[in-house]
Structures are given as structure tokens and as C-alpha cells.
Amino acid sequence: MMIIKGALLLWFLMAARVARAGYGTGSANIFSTGTSWAETSTCAGNLDAPKFTPRAANEATYDWYMTTTSAGGGRRLPLANIGFENVLGGHSESLPLRPILHHNEWMFANGSVYCLEAVATGGATIVVDENGIYANWEGTGFSYTETRLDKPGAEYLVTIGNADIDVHDTIHLKSRAPTHIPCSLNKPGQTLQMMPNVFWANALPDADVTTDLTIHGSPLTTTDGVGYYEETWGDAPLLVSKLVPTNARQSAGSLIPTMASLSPILVVGGCGFVGHHIIREVFEQDSSASISVLDLRTDANRDPRVTYYSGDITQKSQVEMVFAKVKPKTVFHTVSPHPLQVNHDLLDKVNITGTQNLVECAQRAGTVAFVYTSSTSIIHDHYVPLRDANEEAPVIYRPQQPEHYAHTKAVAETLVLNANRVGGLLTASIRPTTIHGEGDLLVTANLCRNAYTRKARFQFGDGKNLMDITYVGNVAYAEVLAAKALVAASSSPPLPESQRVEGEAFFVRNDERYPFWEINRMAARMAGYPVAEEDIWAIPLWLVMAGAFLVQWLVWGLTLGKKEPLLTTRVVRLITIERTFSIDKIKERLGYRPRVSTEEGLQRAVNWYMQEVYAKKDKTK
């Protein structure tokens, strides 16, 4: 957190109060486009506004604008410039707004500038009443609240949480003077010809500001901060060509800088499910990134911009050869056998030996950032429910850990985190909850098969057990956030332990929570096989466990322990027990906010499977 004294808030208010605007409460909301004349009748308070003749489409306009600067070295260096402009049709009530522009601009000590102007495609709402002003720009993560109007000590709270542009901030301003300083039409009877998009301005000249801002995972810090009002800001109409929808990240790509380059990048397992989504995420943020892939097989999920190397991470000589060629600054390690793999030797070789090889080669190659894809299962004994478990929970190893997969993932994560700050390498671990998405042939495939084989109507137990899941795009986003934070930390003094990323593990999930069985039926509905409530078959849990036990032993006996049935007692426990995890830590330290909701992510996953897998070969009903 930092205190910036003398920050400036400019907020443009048009027609905020009906009485002061010169209209009766029964006036119709009829607006005209083009030029209109504005006349002010009073300048009594910060909700004053001019009267328009004819009534103009931009009559009720609010603009919030803040500039903070550093006076270091005897010159004013702009540090942050954040604004929102909105065209509102109405007064003193909740109304949808469109278009809505938010403008973000930051200049850093090295002279680099971050700038983005974007329209909130979801509309917005502004409420003005005797208590103050509340505004919410839907779909952008921006909101604004003001209280104590027209009084010293007026307070402003701005919340910024935009995952599309990777900007997160909470700004609290408290004025040390009355807030109303008119910048235009400041005398009764004064008139002005108002062209479209020319704004009425009020300013907060002197305020104490508390802000906590992160951009692309990097915190914005400053010293000796002061604020000022640039009087030559001008009154030119907005350039429509600069407006970019906030959800069109590709279109806005040229305006979104990479705070710290991750290149050259090596994605281990980059042809796999999570790995190829990480590649996609990196290219979305930095189209010029240099990416290589090390994978056992490199024929799937290929990207022409990527260099591919076939290799086995359990063979150290092969790993050394790839590291010598790529010399990666950043490594993403996503390789692991199937979670239900029963071959303990394979799990040991890939998850433990393979990870050890990668860490040692990264240290020798001068790699800066190493991000490991771990698992939430490493803190779970697979018997006791987990409710909002956090990273303070102890990691469980054998013999207390009954699942060998979880044991090997725990050992691998420990290897990675213990390597932090050894040989210049910074490490972090991402622990996703159950992952779904495009390219998923495990969770998504099972959900879809349950749908078209009509198994989604079955439910074990009361069906109330909550289960956290994560869309693969959110996992990839979290991994890139972690990598950026590690690279940034490599050239900075260590942060306080409560803010540190290096050497740390982070749970990741979607924000929403659903019972496991509701997720199952949601996927069935999306696949075109909805389950009516009256068609649900709730089977007692004890009966399911007994049946699974018998089948499990039958298969074990017939295959001499080499195979397992799909439905084992272990699987029954996992889908009927509650397992939820807190993501407060990754939100606080990395600014992570899930960009894709559970429902949207599940719809994407189901659409992919039904179109790319089921429609082509998996039509067994």
C-alpha cells in the first residue's frame, strides 16, 4: 500500500440533479444528437449541471479522472492516469449506460507507458441520490462510490479488477477541501455551445490517496507522489477509432505491454492439455514471445510459432540437450501421468525423477522463473472432507497419503519449491482444482459420456457435496501471472513474506461453486441431454460403495491386479466427498481473478468435446 498526497480527482458531471439542471420532475427524457446550447443557473455544489437546449444525447455525462505524479528530481512524471466517461440518458436514477469508456494510462520510471481505452460492452449503471454517487461499469471490474458530497472530507472509493487487461486496484481518496471547483460554466447565466463529447468538469484539488495497484502481476510503487490538474487537457471529441471492447483482447493487444518479458520460454508438456493453453495465453499477452516445447510426443496441439523438441524428461541427457539449445528464461512444467495411473514406477519416474532433472537443468542453464503445475490432492488424505482449505494445510506424503499419484506430486512440488533462490532460480507452484476445458479427455470427456449415455440422471448420496473446478484458461492465466511475478522478483529485493510469490504454492479455481452432481447435470444439459428433476435417481451411498468394492475386487482378481474398473471405492469417495479450496492467497499476491466463469468454461468444454470428439468417433449411445 502507498500514500500519495495531493492526488487529483477530476470528475465531469452533467445534469446530475434535476432541480439544478432546471427541469421539472415530470420532464420527458427526450434527447437530441449534435450541437446544443448549455446554460448554468447556479454553481452551488458539486452536483450542479447546465441546462441543455435542445436536450443533448451527451447531456448527462460523468467522468472520473485521476492523475498521480512524482515530483522527484524537480520534474513532474505522470504515474497513473485513470478515467471513465459515460453517456447517460436520465437523472438521479439507475439507468443503463452505453457507450462506456474507461481509459487507463500509466508511465513507469523507465519511461514505458501502459495505455488502454475500452468500451464496457455490458453496459453500466450510475445512481445519484442524496447519499452520494455509486457507479458500476458492468463487465469491466470497475466501480466507483462517493459520499459526503460538498463537504470537506468527501470520500471516494474506486475498485478496479479487470482480468482482460490484467489491472487490479483499490483506490481510496479523502479530500482535504470542499470538492466543488468548477472548470467550466462557473457563473450563473453563463452559456456555452456544447459539442458532442465535450464535458463539464469538477475537480477535487487536494486529497490523500491510498492505493494498491498491480498491472500484469507487478505492483505499481512510487515515492514523493503529488497530484496536479493539467489545464491543457483540451475539449476535443473522443476518437471513436480508439474504442476497443474490453473482451476483445486480441484487438487491444497492441495497447497491452508485457511488463517483463518471459522469453525465451520452455513449456514442458506443451503439446498436452494444460501446456498448449499456457502457450495460447502467452501469445495472447505477447505475440512476439519466443516459445519452445519439450514433450514426449509433439504431434498434437501444435502452433507454427513454436519450436518443438521430442524428449523424455526422465532421461537427463535429453533434458540437458534441450536446455542447452533453448536457454530458457522461463520454464512451465506441466507433465504428469494420468491421475488414475496405477503404475507406481511410472509415476515415480515422471513426477519425481523427471521434475528433479528439469530443476537441475534449469539451475545450470540460468533459468529465472520455474512454474510447476501441481495438484490439490497433495494436501488431501482422500477420506476427510476439505472445506475452504488454504495453503497452510500440510502436504501429505506416504504412508499417510494413500494415493501414489498425490504422493509423487507432493514430492515433486517440494523439489521445486526447495530449489527457490538456488543458483538464481525462482520457483512457484500452481495447484489447480479439477481442470476442464477444450482438449480435456478426462473430466470433460466423462461428463459428456455421462450425458449421452443417460448416466447423468444417477446421483450417489444426497448430492450436496460441493466441488471446486477450474477452467483450463484460468489455470493458464494463473501460471503466466506467477511466471511474471517471478521474473519481476528476480531483479528486486525480496518482498515481505506476506507478499512473496517465489517459493510459494497457490490454489487456483473458478470463483463459483456448485455441487458435483449439479455440474454433472449442467454438462448434460449443455450437451443436449437435459435431466429433469423427477428423473434423478438418488442411490444410497452405502449401496454404491458396496457395489464398487465387489467390482473392484473382481477386476483385480481377473487381471492379477493390472487393471482397475472405472468406478472404484476411491472414485466413489472422491465424487461424494466435499473438497473446496480458498484462493485468497493468489488473489492477494498475484491479482488473480478467474476470467472465465464455471458455466461459460463448461459450455466451451462441452462444445469442444461434442463437436471434435463425439461427432467424429465417440457415438456409442
pLDDT digits (tens, 9 = 90+) for 114-123: 444 444 444 5
pLDDT band per the 50, 70, 90 thresholds, residue 553: confident
CA-to-CA distance for 336 and 338, rounded, in angstroms?
A: 7
Write phi, then psi, for 411 (nearest 5 degrees): -60, -45
The segment with the largest mean pLDDT, out of 13-22, 126-135, 339-348, is 339-348
**How high is the pLDDT of residue 336?**
96
| Pairing assessment for the beta strands 191-194 and 167-175 based on DSSP bridges | unpaired
**How high is the pLDDT of residue 466?**
94
Share above pLDDT 90 across residues of the chain, in percent, rounded to a whole number: 44
Write the CA distances from 376 to 294, 305, 420, 432, 579, integer angstroms: 25, 32, 21, 6, 9
CA-to-CA distance for 118 and 275, rounded, in angstroms?
A: 30
Write the CA distances from 516 to 466, 521, 536, integer angstroms: 6, 9, 14
Contact 135, 102 (CB under 8 A): no
Per-residue pLDDT of 504-519, as tens digits, reads: 999 999 999 999 999 9
**How high is the pLDDT of residue 552?**
85
In the sheet that holds 51-53, the strands lie side by side as 51-53, 36-39, 191-194
CA-to-CA distance for 497 and 445, rounded, in angstroms?
A: 41
CA-to-CA distance for 65 and 275, rounded, in angstroms?
A: 40
41-241 CATH, one of 3.20.20.140, 3.30.70.20, 2.40.370.10, 2.60.40.10 = 2.40.370.10
* Cell output for 218: 507487478
Instruction: Look at the block and give the residue holding cell 480508439.
Output: 242
CA-to-CA distance for 184 and 229, rounded, in angstroms?
A: 14
* Cell output for 262: 518471459
Query: Among 399-403, 456-460, 493-497, 593-597, which stretch is predicted with the lowest mean pLDDT?
Result: 493-497
Who wins on pLDDT, 596 or 44? 596
CA-to-CA distance for 408 and 510, rounded, in angstroms?
A: 25
Residue 457 DSSP code:
G
Residue 533 DSSP code:
G
Domain boundaries, the chain: 41-241, 265-619
CA 464 to chain CA centroid, Å, is: 28
**Residue type at position 141:** G
Q: What is the mean pLDDT of residues 442-454?
A: 94
Who wins on pLDDT, 600 or 261? 600
CA-to-CA distance for 136 and 127, rounded, in angstroms?
A: 9
Q: What is the mean pLDDT of residues 306-323?
A: 98
Who wins on pLDDT, 97 or 164? 164
Chain length of the chain: 621
DSSP-H helix ranges across 439-597:
443-452, 472-490, 516-527, 541-558, 569-576, 584-590
Question: Cβ-count burial of 493 within 10 angstroms (0-12 exposed, 13-18 middle, 19+ buried)?
Answer: exposed
pLDDT band per the 50, 70, 90 thresholds, residue 473: very high
- In 3-state terms the chain splits into helix, strand, coil percentages (rounded to 5) of 30, 30, 45
As annotated, the active-site residues are 409
**Residue type at position 473:** G
Instruction: Look at the block and give the residue holding cell 524428461.
Output: 313
Who wins on pLDDT, 31 or 537? 537
* Cell output for 304: 507454427
Q: What is the mean pLDDT of residues 169-174?
A: 62
Residue 232 DSSP code:
T
Query: Among 198-202, 352-356, 453-457, 494-498, which stretch is predicted with the lowest mean pLDDT?
Result: 198-202
DSSP string, 503-523: TEEEEE--S--EEHHHHHHHH
In 3D, which of 155, 148, 171 has the Cα closest to residue 225? 171
Query: Which residues does 590 contact at the CB level (< 8 Å), separation at least 6?
Result: 214, 217, 478, 481, 482, 485, 501, 506
Per-residue pLDDT of 482-492, as tens digits, reads: 999 999 888 77
In sequence order, what E strands does 345-392 have? Answer: 369-373, 386-389
CA-to-CA distance for 380 and 403, rounded, in angstroms?
A: 9
Query: Is it the case that residue 52 has pLDDT exceeding 60?
Result: no
**Fold classified for 265-619:** Rossmann fold (3.40.50)
Question: Cβ-count burial of 321 within 10 angstroms (0-12 exposed, 13-18 middle, 19+ buried)?
Answer: middle
Find the helix or strand (DSSP H, E) in which 444 lies.
helix 443-452
Who wins on pLDDT, 566 or 403? 403
Write the CA distances from 189 to 33, 185, 224, 285, 398, integer angstroms: 23, 9, 42, 52, 82
CA-to-CA distance for 102 and 175, rounded, in angstroms?
A: 23
In 3D, which of 367, 357, 442, 372 has the Cα closest to residue 410? 372
CA atoms within 13 A on the CB side of 543: 7
In 3D, which of 77, 447, 438, 87 has the Cα closest to residue 276? 438
Per-residue pLDDT of 559-582, as tens digits, reads: 877 777 777 887 888 888 999 999
Query: Among 36-50, 160-174, 536-550, 595-609, which stretch is predicted with the lowest mean pLDDT?
Result: 36-50
pTM for the predicted model, two decimal places? 0.61
Q: What is the mean pLDDT of residues 36-55?
A: 45
Contact 334, 268 (CB under 8 A): yes
Find the helix or strand (DSSP H, E) in which 420 lies.
none
Around Cβ 422, how many Cβ atoms within 10 Å? 12
Query: Which residues does 234 contact at the CB level (< 8 Å), separation at least 6?
Result: none
Q: What is the mean pLDDT of residues 476-499?
A: 88
CA-to-CA distance for 152 and 177, rounded, in angstroms?
A: 5
Query: Is it the case that residue 152 has pLDDT exceeding 60?
Result: no
Instruction: Look at the block and give the residue holding cell 449411445.
Output: 621
Instruction: Look at the block and give the residue holding cell 471529441.
Output: 237
CA-to-CA distance for 312 and 309, rounded, in angstroms?
A: 10
